Structure formats: structure tokens, C-alpha cells
Chains A and B, each alone.
With several copies, the nearest count.
Chain A
């Protein structure tokens, strides 16, 4: 079928990203907005926009019924869920289909097969894909957990079978800690999920890298892996930096990961774009973790090295088109890295920060791509995910991509609220990261880092600090004499402090 108009059932930078893809392929886009988002960039860039309720997501972006009503009312023929919100909600995918609309993503049945951790583990095991040692049946009580632990060995990790976002997970170092951990995990899971949860007990793999494979599948049975991404720079299971190719991934490992991803996708009857996540141990062995049945935040780096627009492709696949390439046609050129710019204070344990963004200076130039929804004057609401923008850079090789990212981070300005920019700048200059030596423990080991300011930069900063505080004290706008530039040859141009503003 041919699509004409797409409801973008999301907000912020991913809504902007989807709207741009719609425009690129000639589809009309329909935005939705909560009361907090009337002025948001996704509303301004869409062809149409409709309100869906109060700021809390439970009353707006998570209201599948309202979203579908808007889609039908506006004459949409497809719904793109972005990521987060309802993107992995099988019930929503089902309701969208029931309303006669195309869901841009895998169908509900696929989401159910992969959304439950136990089901996914079985599916992967049966497909011949290595899975972390652990249970394949729901573990419902402490006795069962104890039995499983004896077989698996310590350290281990308890995970709710149906959860997400790290809620209800517990790492258990020794048998002595199991009972306490079980109580904590089940309590947390119950309050998060609203019902007693079944658990998976898995061996805990420390010092591992988080490597994932992007794949796409069409309605005609083709599944093609597009490349891997190393997403090990995380805190509390939240990724902050991703790159491709993975610095530790050689051709053998890559082929192994690709094959495993394709096997899982085929076994699940996958459709559209998805990501298979793996843990890679220091010895290069890997185990399957889970499949994210949606677009990933870090999709731009795969786009940069392959030249494939994943959101355009999602829209084409959802319309029933076959994949326009085979596995052998896909070639990665160079390297790409992404830094997530979020409204979190890296100097305060990455505490989310709400507030008003006063100034934005966007990085640009060769090899730089910014996917954002940043507008000066915008209010960052505490109701939503703190992701503001994704800065991605490409280079002919990893050092070239990193150099451009350093340059782009240096040019980028977001004023008014704390952001992760200082974390990224520090990390891009940190020797272990630059050498590609990192795993999921990186942030704990390397952050916070001391801020190093050159002598002259410190002098400049001190002078500006004084000028700013003077103007704040006087209440008047600060002034420097705009005519006070001395045009002369080197050696003579700099006269000390002859500026009006310094008096």
C-alpha cells in the first residue's frame, strides 16, 4: 500500500527526526502535543498538529486511544511511535492495526515474542544463539531463585521478566546476599509493574562491552544486518555515547554478531527495524541480551556509515516495500560516534534538570550532524525524558570521527540549564576512551574528572566572571565599548584595559 500521511506519536527530537524523514519521502506529517509542548519544535515543523492532553505522559503521549483518534480524525494512514512512550507496547501496535492504520514497527505478535525476557531467551537459545547462563522458566519465589543460583553460580543478576529501564534489577555478589536482593527486587518490580513479577536469574557478566546489531526485515522474509554499535558508555543502563564500528569488534566477531541477530530476528518473524543487544566479554565471546523492537536513539551513527536513512526505510518497509538491498550490498564507510545531549547535570550525579534554555549555538560543518529539538527560550519540562539532542560525527576512521566530535562539542553551546556537554567533552579527551579501552564500567571508573583550564583561558574566564557579576550587581546590561578595537599590526594592537566596560 501507499502511505500519504503519518501520525508521529511522540515528541521532542525523535518526533522532529521522524517528521524530517516524512518530508524527505514526500509524506505529510501530523504532530501531537501535550499542554507543555504547544511551542515545541516538533509541533512547528509538522504539517499538522493536534493537542492530546495535559503535560503528564500518562494523560497525553501514553494515551493510545487519543493518538489513534487524532490519526483517524486527521486522515492518517500510518503511525510512527518513535522510541520510548508506546513504541514497545504490543497493545498499542494492535490497536493501531485494528483501527485500520499501519504501525511503523514490528507487529504486536513480534513485540510479544521479544518483549518478555524469558520468551526472548528461549527464542534465542532455540535459534542457536548463545545466551547468558540463567533460567528459561519464570522464577517466582526465593526458593526457586536459590535453586537457580546454585546451578548458575555467582555473581548473578535478578531481572523482572517483563520490565525495562533497570527497574527491579539487582546484582548479587554471593549467596549471602540473595535473600535481601530478592526482597528488594521483587518489591521494586511490584511497585513499578503493579503486580507480582516473574523473574529471570542470570549470570552477571562484569567488565563486558555492550554491543548491538541494527537489523532491518521486510514483509517478504529478507533480514539484513546493517552494522554494530558499541554502547558501553552507560550509567544505570542509560547510554550516553555510542560508536560504530565497535572499537573491539573484529571481522570474526562482527560476522558472529550479525548471524546471531539475523537468527533471532528470523525466529521471531521480525518485520521493520530492530536491534539485537549483546554482551561481549573480554575474550570476545558474546551472549544475547534482548531485542529492542523499535528505532534506537543511536540510529544516526549507523546511517552515517552506511548512507541508509533508517527512518525512511522504516516507512517504506511499513508500506510493504521489499528491502532495496541485500546483506552483501551494505558497506560501512569510516566511523561515526554519537553523544547524547541531555538535560542532566553530570556534576550532580546526572540529576535531571528542568528549566528554560536561554541560548543555543549549534555545532555544524563537515562531518557533523545534529538531531535535536532545541529552540532558544524552550522550557525543558520535568515530565519527559531529558534527551535534548543527539550530536553525531563521521570521519574516515575512528580518530577522525573523534576529532570532529571534539570540535563539534567545543562549538556547541546550550545555556540556561545543565547538560551532559561537559561530560562528553571530558570523555572525548580521556586517554582510555580515546584508545577504545572501555566497558560498561567506564563511567563509574572515570567520572567525574577534574576540569583542566589553561592559564590564559582561566584569566579570560576570571575577567568575564567579574564583568558579568558587575553588570548583575548594577542591574544594568554590561557594556564594553564596541568601538574599542585597535587596528594595528601584531605587537601593538593590544593595549591594556582601555574598554569602557572595565571602568
Chain B
């Protein structure tokens, strides 16, 4: 699983491999020993012996996270594949406008579950993208019409590649070669 972490001014990519247990930060493998201290909502992180006491200051479910690390306070936001895609489509809520669903990361498009012209409900799974050895279901953010499908099952896609375009229920299907 791949996460985008915004810490203060800085953005970092944290990848957790599902089975092998490999952890990388910005592409660098990190040897880490982590303990949760539940009574304090704190985590103690040892990185090659270097010790970091990280306390979560913000109440559960508050965004952004406020973290205290070695006496420094920093605000953080985490997006995973799903939330990145959700964020991209957030504006589509109610699908009054045209919304482009893009690949949140490079990967293999394992399956397409919809066809152009279909009307999908909020939460309908539209495509399965395999990335970082995880299958990520891309779901519709709202009731809408699939006005364009830009990929085929089996395609390898780059991060950011256009996958599906949604529009209001009454919209016509878009031509194959459009403004994209």
C-alpha cells in the first residue's frame, strides 16, 4: 500500500508492502522498530537505533493530524490510493459536473466493471487497479453516468492516467477522441 504523507511543508511517500513487510519512505527502505504506547496515543520509533517518540496530539478522526516528534509539533495529512481518488472525485458529489477519475498511482488495470453509458450509483465499483501488490477498488463518488472509459482491462497505466469520465445522468457518451 502506498501513502502520500504531507508533513508541514513537505510531502513524503510511505510504502508498506503487503506481505514481505518491506517499508520504504521516499523509495528508501527503512529498518524500523515501532511500538505503540496506547495509554498516551504515542508511538516509539527506532530507526537504526535513533529514537523518536511520536505522540498524536489531535483527537481521533481530526484532520489534519497534529503530531509531536522530539518536542517539535507538526501537522500531517495522509492519503492512500483510495483517498487520493476520493479527493479527486470529491467535487463530483452529486455528479452535476464532468468528473475524471485518474489512476492514483502506476499499476495494472485488472478489471473494468462498467461500460460507457451505464448509470452507476454512489459506491459502485468501476475498476480494479492493482498497485503495490494491493488491489484497489475505484468506486463512483456519486450517482452518475459513465460518459467515457479511457482504458481496457489488462492495461498498464501510469500514475495520473485518465481511467473513467463521469457526468450527470443526462449526459451523452463522449466521443473516443475528445478534448483529452
Q: Are A and B in contact, CB atoms below 8 Å, in the complex? A: yes
Indicate if the CB atoms of B44 and A43 lie closer than 8 Å. Answer: yes
B35 touches A415 (CB 8 A): no
Partner among A358, A457, A503 whose Cβ is within 8 Å of the Cβ of B18:
A503
Give the number of residues in A that approach B within 8 Å (Cβ atoms): 74
Which residues of chain B in 1-36 are interfacial with respect to chain A, using CB atoms and an 8 Å cutoff?
Answer: 3, 5, 7-10, 12, 14, 16-19, 21-23, 25, 29-36
Flag A404-426 by CB within 8 Å of B: 1 or 0 each. 00100110011110100110010
> Assuming the A-B contacts A49-B46, A413-B40, A486-B33, are A458 and B7 also in contact, with contact meaning beta carbons closer than 8 angstroms in the complex?
yes
Assess whether A501 is interfacial by the CB under 8 Å rule.
yes
Q: At the interface, is chain B mostly helix, strand, loop or mixed?
A: strand
B75: chain A residues at CB < 8 Å are 347
B45 surroundings in chain A (CB, below 8 A): 460, 463-464
Please state if B35 and A497 are interface contacts (CB–CB under 8 Å).
no
CB-defined contacts of B49 to chain A, threshold 8 Å: 30, 48-50, 74, 490, 493-494
Contacts A39-B35, A494-B31 known; A456 to B52 CB distance under 8 Å?
yes
Provide the residues of chain B in CB contact with A456, threshold 8 Å. 47, 50, 52
Q: Which of B36-77 contact A (CB under 8 A)?
A: 36-61, 65-77
Q: Which of A139-147, A160-168, A179-187, A447-455 contacts B (4 or more CB under 8 A)?
A: A447-455
Q: Which of A224-232, A236-244, A329-337, A467-475 participates in binding chain B?
A: A467-475
**Does chain A have a CB within 8 A of B78?**
yes
Do A457 and B32 have beta carbons less than 8 Å apart?
A: no
Question: Given the complex of chains A and B, what is the CA–CA distance between A410 and B49 in angstroms?
Answer: 19
B-contacting residues, A461-497, CB 8 Å? 461-470, 472-473, 477-480, 482, 484-486, 490, 493-497
- Tell me the bound Cα distance from A473 to B21 in angstroms: 20
Residues of B within 8 A of A46 (CB): 51
One digit per residue, 1 when the CB lies within 8 angstroms of any chain B CB and 0 when it does not, for chain A 28-50 equals 00110000001100011111111
Q: Cβ of A128 < 8 Å from any Cβ of B? A: no
Chain B neighbourhood of A148, CB < 8 A: none
Is A359's CB within 8 Å of the partner chain B? yes
Take A375-B40, A461-B67, A469-B65 as given contacts and tell me if A45 and B53 are in contact as well, using a CB distance cutoff of 8 Å: yes
Query: Which A residues are in CB contact (< 8 Å) with B5?
Result: 462, 465-466
Task: Determine if A376 is an interface residue (Cβ-Cβ < 8 Å).
Answer: yes
Given contacts A460-B54, A465-B78, A496-B23, contact A453 B32 (CB under 8 A): no
Which A residue sits closest to B36, measured CB to CB?
A480
Whether A463 pairs with B53 at a CB distance below 8 angstroms is: no
Check A415/B57 contact, CB under 8 A, given A453-B7, A485-B33. Answer: yes
In this complex, which of A356, A450, A462, A502 has the most chain B Cβ atoms within 10 angstroms of its Cβ? A462
- Shortest beta-carbon distance from A70 to chain B in Å: 9
Known interface pairs A358-B59, A464-B43, A480-B34; A31-B51 also in contact (CB < 8 Å): yes
A26 contacts chain B at the CB level, 8 A cutoff: no
Cβ contact of B21, chosen from A457, A463, A499, cutoff 8 A: A499
A-B contacts, 6 listed (Cβ < 8 Å): A38-B35, A458-B12, A461-B76, A484-B33, A496-B23, A502-B34
7 closest residue pairs by CB, A with B:
A410-B71, A497-B23, A460-B52, A460-B45, A494-B31, A469-B78, A377-B39
